[in-house]
């Protein structure tokens, strides 16, 4: 079942620039979906349709099968279900302390204070930020800010979490911690949609990949299927994962017996190489 | 970053753990005592006492405090000098010898009193500013029923001061790398561009922040948890200490009320 479904949505900015054209995007329940695309392809714009911040000029957005209602009550409801974590945590963290920021969402839902406090505590523990409740955001590092931003969404207990470039600007360890966190949340049943251009990270986690370029979805499928279409990937200003690129070169230039579909992760590549190696030796 | 700012000291000082209400009440009541004093003695004692508290008890770096103190001090001194010369009538105690200017006893005493009150009041505020983080002051402000809208604006301003300070510093560095400050004329130009660019950024950031808040069901008012904190958390011991201290000061005000140097 798809928790988010967009049907042919088209959106142009007030100045007339066409940002999205007939976009069809489906997120299956309980999966991790990746939206890959170069800068300015419309990733963030698409995400803002998921919780009704932007209203498409044409087409419909469905959440849990119901079309979005753009009245006050409808928006309240959908924003509790679909949580968006923005790319720059400084845009999202506005309160003077970590605690007040994380409490913002649950307070807006109108929960009683005790419940809010419990949720704040729980979400901060979840992202490993307990004990920093009374810190001011400008005393935190980039990775910590990102985690607080995620906690702020978690505290609203959304069914679907949408993250815009969750690993951008983080060091490798910070990035992998965030991805681990997302993976664990997904294991517990949360549907996760991420936008990224980090092609090395996507195949490790994603169930389904969409490629967006100039406001259009140009490719969709499992990571293996999508990265098999090397021309489309490159045409969209993206690249193969490093490991797949290596296998491509080994196959084409050095005539080693590696061909499509290229392995996308270190684990897959290792198996392929070992298999070839063992076959030769035998 | 921001290691040498007021905010940083407010967050990291030895009196950080102390009850906020106690600190606020202490600072404000002492300031009031300093202001009602009719002689310079008590305010100067308060200034000294507060400075000792700030430097030796709260352990704020004395270099920073000195710099911080220098501005109101020089301002106060100028006031003092002008009042001594131009205010008051009566016997001259010092002839300056130019333009018939002279210091009068009246003017001198008034100037000294104003100076002392300024220093007393300032050190009390400095004590508050350097030992109590803004974030905790907000809860005090809420308690004394400051209107919600004022608080919201203050909270957002406080947060975004640092975001934009960060941006401004970054922009400044990028301009410096391209020799934007190599001459006075270029400095003016670069500074102007930095300012206008920062203004545009505030606009964009504001829009972004609004979208992010809307995504979390923002409906136009920032709701905050009603913290259990009340003035009662101050503790009886602190309250007794505070009252005793202020009573001693007020007695000081009473007994030194007619003290004059001239």
Token pair of B138 as six digits: 């907000």
Determine, for residues B163 and A138 on separate chains, whether the beta-carbon distance falls below 8 Å.
yes
The answer to whether the CB of B135 falls within 8 A of the CB of B26 is no
Closest residue to B214, CB basis, from A53, A97, A107: A53
> Bridge partners of A49?
none
Please give the average per-residue pLDDT across B148-152, as a whole number. 89
Helix axes B134-143, B20-36, angle to 10 degrees: 80
Question: What residue spans in chain A does CATH classification 3.40.50.300 cover?
Answer: 2-239
> Could you tell me which chain A residue has the CA closest to the CA of B206?
A91
Task: Give φ, ψ of B64 to 5 degrees.
Answer: -65, -45
- Quote the minimal CA–CA distance from A100 to chain B in Å: 7
Query: Hey, is the C-beta of A51 within 8 angstroms of any chain B C-beta?
Result: yes
* Torsional class of B227: left (φ above 0), alpha (ψ -120 to 50), beta (otherwise): beta
> Bridge partners of A11?
A20
Query: Hey, is the C-beta of A238 within 8 angstroms of any chain B C-beta?
Result: no
Q: Write out pLDDT tens, residues A216-255.
A: 999 999 988 888 888 898 888 888 888 889 988 998 888 8
A80 contacts on B by Cβ (under 8 Å): 217
Query: Hey, is the C-beta of A115 within 8 angstroms of any chain B C-beta?
Result: no
- C-alpha distances (whole Å) from A184 to each of A32, A187, B262 are 11, 5, 78
Give the CA dihedral B153, B155, B159, B162, nearest 10 degrees: 80
Rounded distance between C-alpha atoms, residue A203 and residue A199, angstroms: 7
Rounded distance between C-alpha atoms, residue B49 and residue B44, angstroms: 8
What per-residue confidence (pLDDT) applies to A146?
93
Task: Flag whether pLDDT at A185 surpasses 90.
Answer: yes
Q: Write out pLDDT tens, residues B98-112.
A: 777 788 888 888 899
Superfamily per CATH, domain A2-239? P-loop containing nucleotide triphosphate hydrolases (3.40.50.300)
pTM, two decimals, is 0.83
> Could you tell me which chain A residue has the CA closest to the CA of B227?
A113
Nearest residue to B122 (alpha-carbon basis) of B72, B77, B83: B72
- Choose the weakest-confidence range: A121-125, A187-191, A207-211, B133-137: B133-137
Closest residue to B159, CB basis, from A79, A94, A109: A94
ipTM above 0.90, yes or no: no
B226 band by pLDDT with thresholds 50, 70 and 90 = low
> Could you tell me which chain A residue has the CA closest to the CA of B223?
A107
Residue to test with chain A: of B132, B154, B205, B212, most A Cβ within 10 A: B212
Query: Hey, is the C-beta of A116 within 8 angstroms of any chain B C-beta?
Result: yes
- Quote the minimal CA–CA distance from B91 to chain A in Å: 56
Nearest residue to A167 (alpha-carbon basis) of A201, A193, A121, A138: A201
- CA within 13 Å, CB half, A116: 21
DSSP secondary-structure letter at A192?
E
Determine, for residues B223 and A91 on separate chains, whether the beta-carbon distance falls below 8 Å.
no
Nearest residue to B139 (alpha-carbon basis) of B161, B155, B123: B155
Determine, for residues A96 and B158 on separate chains, whether the beta-carbon distance falls below 8 Å.
yes
What per-residue confidence (pLDDT) applies to A82?
94
Cis amide leading into A261 (omega within 30): yes
Determine, for residues B11 and A136 on separate chains, whether the beta-carbon distance falls below 8 Å.
yes
Closest residue to A95, CB basis, from B155, B205, B217: B155
Per DSSP bridges, beta strands A18-28 and A2-12 are antiparallel
- C-alpha distances (whole Å) from B149 to each of A126, A158, B203, B206, B221 are 32, 29, 20, 17, 8
Task: Flag whether pLDDT at B118 surpasses 90.
Answer: yes
Token pair of A22 as six digits: 């007939």
Rounded distance between C-alpha atoms, residue B142 and residue A150, angstroms: 28
Task: Give φ, ψ of A263 to 5 degrees.
Answer: -65, 145
Residue to test with chain A: of B152, B217, B218, B223, most A Cβ within 10 A: B217
B219 contacts on A by Cβ (under 8 Å): 72, 108
Rounded distance between C-alpha atoms, residue A73 and residue B91, angstroms: 78
Task: Flag whether pLDDT at B190 surpasses 80.
Answer: yes
B2 band by pLDDT with thresholds 50, 70 and 90 = low
- Quote the minimal CA–CA distance from A96 to chain B in Å: 5
Please give the average per-residue pLDDT across A170-181, as a whole number. 88
């Amino acid at each position: 079942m798809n928790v988010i479904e967009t049907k042919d949505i088209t959106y142009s900015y007030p100045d007339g620039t066409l940002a999205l054209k007939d976009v069809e995007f489906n997120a299956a329940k309980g999966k991790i979906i990746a939206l890959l695309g170069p800068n300015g392809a419309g990733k963030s714009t698409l995400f803002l349709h998921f919780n009704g911040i932007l209203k498409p000029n044409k087409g419909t957005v469905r959440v849990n099968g119901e079309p979005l209602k753009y009245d006050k009550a409808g928006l309240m409801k959908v924003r509790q279900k679909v949580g968006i974590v923005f790319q720059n945590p400084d845009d999202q963290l506005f309160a003077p302390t970590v605690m007040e920021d994380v409490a913002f969402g649950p307070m807006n839902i109108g929960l009683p204070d005790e419940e809010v406090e419990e949720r704040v505590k729980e979400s901060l523990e979840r992202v490993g930020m307990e004990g920093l409740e009374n810190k001011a955001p400008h005393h935190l590092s980039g990775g910590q800010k990102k985690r607080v931003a995620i906690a702020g969404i978690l505290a609203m207990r959304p069914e679907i979490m949408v993250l815009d470039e969750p690993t951008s600007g983080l060091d490798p360890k910070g990035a992998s911690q965030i991805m681990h966190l997302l993976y664990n949340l997904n294991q517990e049943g949360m549907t996760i949609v991420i936008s990224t251009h980090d092609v090395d990270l996507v195949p490790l986690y994603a169930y389904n990949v969409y490629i967006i370029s100039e406001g259009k979805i140009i490719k969709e499928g499992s990571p293996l299927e999508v990265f098999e279409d090397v021309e489309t990937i490159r045409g969209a200003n993206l690249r193969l994962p490093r490991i797949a690129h290596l296998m491509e070169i080994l196959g084409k230039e050095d005539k080693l017996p590696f061909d499509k579909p290229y392995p996308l992760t270190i684990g897959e590549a290792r198996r392929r190489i070992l298999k070839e190696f063992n076959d030769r030796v035998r | 970053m921001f290691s040498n700012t007021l905010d940083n000291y407010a967050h990291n000082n030895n009196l950080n753990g102390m009850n906020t209400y106690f600190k606020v009440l202490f600072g404000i009541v002492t300031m009031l005592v300093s202001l009602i004093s009719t002689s310079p003695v008590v305010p100067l004692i308060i200034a000294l006492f507060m400075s000792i508290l700030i430097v030796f008890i709260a352990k704020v770096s004395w270099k920073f405090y000195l710099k911080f103190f220098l501005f109101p001090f020089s301002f106060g001194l100028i006031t003092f000098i002008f009042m001594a010369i131009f205010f008051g009538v009566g016997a001259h105690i010092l002839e300056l010898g130019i333009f018939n200017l002279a210091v009068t006893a009246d003017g001198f005493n008034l100037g000294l009193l104003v100076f002392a009150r300024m220093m007393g009041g300032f050190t009390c505020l400095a004590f508050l500013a350097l030992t109590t983080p803004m974030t905790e002051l907000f809860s005090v402000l809420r308690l004394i029923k400051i209107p919600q809208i004022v608080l919201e604006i203050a909270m957002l301003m406080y947060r975004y001061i640092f975001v934009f300070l960060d941006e401004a510093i970054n922009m400044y560095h990028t301009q410096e790398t391209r020799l934007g400050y190599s001459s006075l004329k270029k400095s003016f130009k670069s500074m102007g561009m930095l300012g206008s660019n920062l203004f545009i950024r505030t606009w964009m950031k504001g829009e972004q922040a609004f979208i992010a808040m809307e995504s979390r069901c923002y409906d136009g008012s920032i709701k905050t948890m009603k913290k259990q904190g009340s003035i009662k958390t101050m503790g009886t011991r602190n309250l007794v200490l505070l009252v005793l201290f202020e009573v001693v000061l007020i007695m000081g005000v009473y007994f030194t009320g007619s003290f004059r140097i001239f």
